[in-house]
Amino acid sequence: MTALGRPQFLLQFSEVLVKWRRFFNLLAAHQGKDGMAILEQKLELEQLQDSLIKLGVGAKSDIENWFTGEKLGSSGTIDLLDWNSLINDTTKISNLLVVPNMESGHLEPLLSKFTDEEEKQMKRMLQRMDVLAKHAVENGVRLMVDAEQTYFQPAISRLTLEMQRIFNREKPNIFNTYQCYLREAYDNVSVDVELSRREGWYFGAKLVRGAYMCQERSRAAEIGYEDPINPDYEATNRMYHKCLEYILEEINHNRMANVMVASHNEDTVKFTLEKMNETSLSPTENKVCFGQLLGMCDQISFPLAGQAGFPVYKYVPYGPVNEVIPYLSRRAQENRGFMKGSQRERSLLWKELKRRLFSGQLLYKPGPVA
């Protein structure tokens, strides 16, 4: 997504979304709702409005107008999805929306007004996204939006979600990517799945472990915020399987979800197959597909595609050598399961070579001499 416009816009918009979610968490804590699962935190509407007035967020009439949507607040409560819907147009974020600064305790604007140039940049980015999405739909392919650093990701996920709302009405054309080395990965997946249920569009997800671990941790230490990454590789594996199981349950429930298991980890592939067997989910339904890097972990890819009939995609890193090699080295460093897979692949190849040699099978049989 950072190739479609200035990353500065994604950074600004991400800050807005993070502040807005923190504000919700603060209000939930005031109502004694903290500690509950994210989708179980429901703010009492009358109490919420009183709290906003006391905080000085706005006049009573203005605040009441926030919650006058067709469904918003009709149950007497507001959950996170309702709260997020209050920011429904990135080009018209109201100057009225202010949030408390957690450090100073003072109210501050959610976002300073965009300059004319920033407005143009944002519209150009949205137009480019729209062109790509339409091109994908017209050609019968899926568009998978990659995940990036956490300081860009909230905006990337929100913009991807807006595309899903438009282009995933008939089938899952647009996929978002979820990085399972993040502590909040499960919350992000469950919130987006619930939104797709409420609005009736197809949920599409690519699950990865993550690619920016060292960078994220060093940035968190430097700036002084909580490390967003799971403490170790095993915790990341558990998070991956937790998110994957949740999506597979959603697929089994209503078939309006698809997932790409983008992993070189054999245990994860086995876990997926076991869960699919438990729910009688067939490969031919194309609800689950797999992805690995081209030339890596073929001992996983070939049986899945050739014997089990799964859609398997081989990912091709493309670009200058000085950029691709560091990319691959990061995958080797941050996906230890991949390194185990390459060693196993070499062992299997050597085993097959010895079998053919010692069983009398020739690798090459010369034809008749002319």
Q: Each residue of 75-128: pLDDT tens digit?
A: 788 888 888 887 764 434 444 466 666 566 666 766 655 677 777 877 888 899
pLDDT at 146: 93
Mean of pLDDT values over 136-152: 94
Q: How many CA atoms lie within 13 A of 313 on its CB side?
A: 17
- Tell how far CA 323 is from the center of its chain: 24
pLDDT at 344 over 70: no
What percent of the chain has a predicted confidence (pLDDT) above 90?
37
pLDDT at 113: 57
First-last CA distance in the chain: 59
Mean of pLDDT values over 269-285: 91
What span, in angstroms and rounded, lies between the C-alpha atoms of 308 and 264? 17
Q: Which of 104-113, 168-177, 360-369 has the lowest mean pLDDT?
A: 360-369
Which stretch, 189-198, 293-302, 343-352, has highest mean pLDDT? Answer: 189-198
pLDDT at 360 over 50: yes
What's the Cα-to-Cα distance from 156 to each of 148, 163, 178, 260, 280, rounded to whole Å? 8, 11, 11, 18, 34
| DSSP label of 182 | B
pLDDT at 332: 63
Greatest CA separation for the chain: 97
pLDDT at 93: 41
pLDDT at 157: 95
| DSSP label of 316 | -
**Which residue would you say has higher pLDDT here, 346 or 2?**
2
Q: Which of 8-12, 118-122, 160-164, 251-255 has the lowest mean pLDDT?
A: 118-122
**Which residue would you say has higher pLDDT here, 190 or 123?**
190
pLDDT at 370: 44
pLDDT at 361: 54
**Beta carbons of 290 and 269 less than 8 angstroms apart:** yes
Q: Which of 73-77, 248-252, 265-269 has the lowest mean pLDDT?
A: 73-77
Mean of pLDDT values over 234-242: 95
pLDDT at 72: 63
Q: What confidence tier does 36 reach under pLDDT thresholds 50, 70, 90?
A: confident
Q: Which residues contact 246 (CB under 8 A, 6 or more apart)?
A: 186, 189, 190, 193
**Beta carbons of 194 and 256 less than 8 angstroms apart:** no
Taking all residues of the chain, what is their mean pLDDT, rounded to a whole number? Answer: 83
List, for residues 192-224, the tens digit of each pLDDT value: 999 999 999 999 999 999 888 888 999 999 998
pTM summary value: 0.82
What span, in angstroms and rounded, lies between the C-alpha atoms of 144 and 136? 10
Q: What confidence tier does 331 reach under pLDDT thresholds 50, 70, 90?
A: low
What span, in angstroms and rounded, lies between the C-alpha atoms of 196 and 205? 12
**Which residue would you say has higher pLDDT here, 211 or 172?**
172
**Which residue would you say has higher pLDDT here, 12 or 176?**
176
What span, in angstroms and rounded, lies between the C-alpha atoms of 301 and 314? 8
